[in-house]
Homo-oligomer: A and B are copies of this chain.
Amino acid sequence: MTVNVGVVGVGMIGQEHIRRLMTKVPGASVVAVSDVEEARAREAAELVSGAKVYAEGEDLILAREVEAVIVSSWGPTHAKYVLASIKAGKPVLCEKPLATTEADCSAILDAEAAFGRRLVQVGFMRRFDPQYVAMKETIASGAIGTPLIFQSGHRNASVPAHYTGEMSLTDTAVHDIDIARFLLEDEPEAITVRAPRRNSRAGDVADPLMTLIDMRSGALVAIETSVHIAYGYDIRGEVIGESGAVSLPDRSEVVVKTNGAFVGRIPPDWRERFAPAFDIEFRAFIAAAAEGRVAGPSAWDGYVATVTTLAGVKALRSKKTEPVKLRKRPKLYAN
């Protein structure tokens, strides 16, 4: 039983998704692609013999042969494609952010509620990462007691040219915010953002940042983002509980001893670091889609992440603690 997938937005990430579906995910067949740049769409279609090219994402979503949708287009376009997918009753895996405004996120929540069941999975792949899953299981086991503080470090060697301004919050810390909610099973209440001395290579990017989030339980989340740190892609994390702590270790394939040092490798980018997470995420999406369902992070998770990062942007500017005001959680997303 094969799920026929249409991919909206086939830039670098979309093409990576296509390759992943072809080489790592049995039971999926990419049958349609779409992109604002037609040439890019044709290029992507060639990766998969027989995929049809659509000029408009909405047409792809409506196409009879498409059973499930992957949205990896430019962030501001996510909302319309997700809404179209819901309208078409098709499972959709949408890259983060779910939408770039609170209103759009909220509209998606309403649409899904109106449809009556979940159709949206948001691309917070970390929730499928075996390391974060082990972290969550450790907390659940009681081994560290009630969690009090979560420290998260999100470091990129460098960022692409289109990365500017406050994307350290909206594009980078957004992952840490979601994983904090996942690990702590708690919601953000307020956010504070501190901008230390700027990295000399950071241009207009607010880098590094230290973001503090007060959770409803009183637990504190401290997120360090450093997106020009040169040495590699390094995801740090430690949950500090009442009686213990759990953290992500460095995990090189080998240790090399040479020249007075023992040396391990740090991954160069998120592709390598989260490759297993993406594999598992896509398999989960396809397995659920085969049954007309979705699994994993929901539209509610996407909504909270967007509202929190937008409050963070405000806090960075105001230099004050800003509240994170969430609408009531719809029943569809009850835990």
Q: How far is the CA of A130 from the CA of B267 in the complex (A)?
A: 13
Task: State how many residues of chain A have any CB contact under 8 Å with chain B.
Answer: 77
Asked if A335 lies at the interface with its beta carbon under 8 angstroms from chain B, I say no
Is the C-beta of A199 less than 8 angstroms from some C-beta in chain B? yes
User: Which of A155, A201, A229 gathers the greatest number of chain B CB atoms within 10 Å?
Assistant: A229
Q: How far is the CB of A68 from chain B (nearest CB, A)?
A: 16
Question: Which A111-127 residues have a C-beta within 8 angstroms of B?
Answer: none
The answer to the question of A10 belonging to the interface, with a C-beta cut-off of 8 Å to chain B, is: no
Partner of A262, one of B135, B155, B228, B250: B250
Q: Mark A134-164, 1 if CB is under 8 A from B, else 0.
A: 1100100001111011010101000000000
State whether A243 touches B264 (Cβ < 8 A).
Answer: no
Interface-located stretch among A78-86, A87-95, A212-220, A309-317: A212-220
Interchain CA distance A243-B28 in the complex, whole Å: 41
Collect the chain B residues with CB atoms within 8 Å of residue A247's CB.
254-255, 257
Bound complex: CA of A134 vs CA of B258, how far in Å? 15
Complex Cα–Cα for A139 and B90 (A): 50
A67 lies within 8 A of chain B by Cβ: no
Q: A276 to B244: give the CA distance in the assembly, Å.
A: 26
- On whether the beta carbons of A256 and B228 are closer than 8 Å, the reply is no
A252 and B242 form a contact (CB under 8 A): no
A residues contacting B by CB (< 8 A) are: 21-28, 130-131, 133-135, 138, 143-146, 148-149, 151, 153, 155, 194, 196-201, 208, 210, 212, 214, 217-220, 222, 224, 226, 228-232, 234, 240-266, 268, 276, 283
What are 22 inter-chain pairs, A to B, with CB distance below 8 A? Answer: A21-B26, A22-B26, A134-B253, A135-B254, A145-B230, A149-B208, A194-B214, A196-B214, A197-B220, A222-B224, A229-B243, A230-B242, A230-B243, A231-B243, A231-B258, A244-B259, A246-B255, A248-B255, A251-B251, A261-B263, A262-B263, A262-B266
